[in-house]
Amino acid sequence: MKFYDQMLLVAAELTRQSQIVLMPFCVVAEQDQDSEQKAALDLLHFKKIDLCERVVVVTDEAGYIGESTRREIAYAERNHHQVEYRAMPAPTTDGGAALSSLRDTTGSVRMLHRKTGVSPRADDCTDPTHEDRFERYGEEFCADCAPMGWTCAACAAIARDEHHMPPDWPCATAKLVYTEDELAPTVDGGAE
Ligand SMILES: [Zn+2]
Ligand SMILES: [Zn+2]
């Protein structure tokens, strides 16, 4: 599926506007385009179009629209759905005005997937002069100890809920919405 990252950004923006987004989530490999699975997914996508009030087509700055998307647009128009087009620049990490405006619209994504220090648990702190404690995910941590590493605030919260280890910073989402400079490791580990 082309423009999948751009679709995720548009989906996030529309969701923030309290709109229900029915986007495709299954990417079919190039060699499986003629498979039964692909046909079933196409059918499912038509069902999603039946449910929706309007269709937002995400494309690149050149306006590329692939064959199956054309079929879906024709179907939506036949069924009197409003069709809108969104041209999105590819979310690479190499600067550019278009990209920075894209990042502006992803402000709340940035805030969620921000860099945060991994503090040791209060029980593991051996320094008796450390008194500052904070609670997160139902556990107590030492705020005076140096962070043991860096993780993503949003992804770490999900990981804790599912009893996984918190992922390292930057997570996959952070890589999309932060600049290369912001992602670069710094001597002091960077600002939170
Ligand atoms: Zn994250
Ligand atoms: Zn400590």
Q: Is position 100 within any domain?
A: no
Distance from the CA of 188 to the center of ligand 1, in angstroms?
A: 21
Which band of pLDDT confidence, cut at 50, 70 and 90, is reported for residue 106? low
Query: Positive or negative CA dihedral for 90, 92, 94, 95?
Result: positive
* Residues 169 and 117 both lie in one domain: yes
If you ran DSSP here, which 8-state letter would residue 120 be given?
P
Among the bound ligands, the one closest to the CA of 122: 2
Q: Is position 102 within any domain?
A: no
Distance from the CA of 184 to the center of ligand 2, in angstroms?
A: 27
Distance from the CA of 83 to the center of ligand 1, in angstroms?
A: 32
Q: Is position 188 within any domain?
A: no
Among the bound ligands, the one closest to the CA of 140: 2
Residue 12 burial by Cβ neighbours in a 10 Å radius (0-12, 13-18, 19+): middle
Q: Which amino acid, one-letter code, is at 82?
A: Q
Q: Is position 101 within any domain?
A: no
Task: Report whether pLDDT(187) > 70.
Answer: no
Task: Report whether pLDDT(138) > 80.
Answer: no
Residue 63, pLDDT score? 80
Q: Is position 69 within any domain?
A: yes
* Residues 10 and 73 both lie in one domain: yes
Task: Report whether pLDDT(126) > 80.
Answer: yes
* Residues 83 and 9 both lie in one domain: yes
In the chain, the percentage of residues whose pLDDT exceeds 90 is 16
Distance from the CA of 185 to the center of ligand 2, in angstroms?
A: 23
CB-based neighbours (< 5 A) of ligand 1, an ion:
113, 152, 154-155, 171, 173
Q: Is position 190 within any domain?
A: no
CB 160, CB 182: distance < 8 Å: no
Among the bound ligands, the one closest to the CA of 143: 2
Distance from the CA of 20 to the center of ligand 2, in angstroms?
A: 44
Distance from the CA of 38 to the center of ligand 1, in angstroms?
A: 30
* Residues 21 and 53 both lie in one domain: yes
* Residues 112 and 85 both lie in one domain: no
Which band of pLDDT confidence, cut at 50, 70 and 90, is reported for residue 190? very low
Q: Is position 99 within any domain?
A: no
* Residues 83 and 113 both lie in one domain: no
Distance from the CA of 146 to the center of ligand 2, in angstroms?
A: 8
In the chain, the percentage of residues whose pLDDT exceeds 70 is 86
Among the bound ligands, the one closest to the CA of 119: 2
Q: Which is more confident, 60 or 57?
A: 57
Distance from the CA of 123 to the center of ligand 2, in angstroms?
A: 9
Give me the domain span that covers residue 81.
4-89
Final residue of a structural domain among 25, 54, 89: 89
* Residues 112 and 83 both lie in one domain: no
| pLDDT tens figures, 168-182 | 888 888 888 788 888
Nearest to 90 by CA among 81, 79, 78, 98: 98
Final residue of a structural domain among 89, 120, 144: 89
Q: Is position 154 within any domain?
A: yes
- Our count of domains for the chain comes to 2
* Residues 120 and 171 both lie in one domain: yes
* Average pLDDT of the chain to the nearest whole number: 81
* Residues 68 and 116 both lie in one domain: no
Q: What is the mean pLDDT of residues 162-173?
A: 82
Final residue of a structural domain among 61, 89, 117: 89
Q: What are φ and ψ of residue 168, in 5° steps? A: -75, 150
Residue 192, pLDDT score? 46
Distance from the CA of 88 to the center of ligand 1, in angstroms?
A: 22
* Residues 82 and 130 both lie in one domain: no
